[in-house]
Amino acid sequence: MTIGQALTEHRISHGLALLISSGDLIADRRYQWALDYLARGDRAAAAEILEQALAGAPAFAGAWFALGAIREAAGDRERAIAAFRAARDADPQDYHGAALRLARLGEGEVTPPLMQRHVRRVFDQHARDFEESLLQRLAYRGPQLLHDAILRARLASGAPATFRSMLDLGCGTGLAGDCFRRDVDQLIGVDLSTAMIAEAAKRAIYDRLEEGELGAFLSHEAGSAACYDLIVAADVLVYVADLAAVASAVRPVLAADGLFGFTVETHAGDGVVLGESLRYAHGAAHVRAAIAGAGLRLVDLGAVSVRTEKGAAVPGLLGVATPC
């Protein structure tokens, strides 16, 4: 896997388009040439061309970000930090997530607003082609895996394999909603991205769609005495550092016999790690503690992989919980 291929897959998995014009045609062309060299595995040539582009366009955030990625992959931590800082400073909105890369390198703290801002901007920009990339290039299979696990848990409890109401957390373009629609009477979706909500609306399967941050939305629902038989979080908790807050917000709006189904990416340790993909990986112990601390009981927690990246299955966990 070359750095160029890794950057390409990073763009696909995140919906990132690293080329946002610098306003300088020559710099833009050099940036594209640099990516071509990266795709062929010539890291040194790519870095040299990016430096030339930046000499003419010093506020070219995309070029700084790509240069930072090259330096980080080469083990040049200090110069990678310098490049990511320049990318962040050149773009106050931090489209590329340079501040998150700095956090991975031990420079700064990853806060929820920082991640939310990055995620919203990425998915707003790439909602239209997101689903195609996710399904065709990353072999995404989270909704179907969740559907199968939730129905198994429902049948094992002796309850009907249907639900009066379902809340789709981080609904995106509606893949999970589409998978569950036939099993629920009322389907509600919420997402941080305006553009993703617009794409989900095109499916015409949701009874209600809301734009908002998950915690704030769940708090509002609790205040309105909403109650759901099923709450699903398919591939959204990878953008949440601490699962305890989400689990605790889910509990008040989950019916006494309701189910909370979710997927996370995982790693061999116990805590939370911000990965190269700028998604969080949660250790099994962290997941168990967050669920138990929220007054929920796991009825299923198993190893799964909901996507493939860089030619390999991404390790994950699938959980189904119910109130204690």
pLDDT tens digits, one per residue of 101-139: 898 898 877 776 777 877 888 788 778 877 877 887 888
Return the pLDDT at 125: 77
Give me the domains of the chain, ranges plus CATH numbers.
Answer: 3-109 (1.25.40.10), 135-323 (3.40.50.150)
Q: Write 113-118 long-range contacts (CB < 8 A, 24+).
A: 115/239, 115/240, 115/241, 116/192, 116/213, 116/239, 117/93, 118/94, 118/278
Residue 39 has pLDDT above 90, yes or no: no
Return the pLDDT at 156: 92
pLDDT tens digits, one per residue of 287-300: 999 999 999 999 99
SS3 content of the chain, % helix, strand, coil (to 5): 50, 20, 30
pTM of the model: 0.84
Return the pLDDT at 1: 34
The whole-chain average pLDDT of the chain stands at 89
pLDDT tens digits, one per residue of 57-100: 999 999 999 999 999 989 999 999 999 999 999 988 888 888 88
pLDDT tens digits, one per residue of 299-318: 999 999 999 988 899 999 99
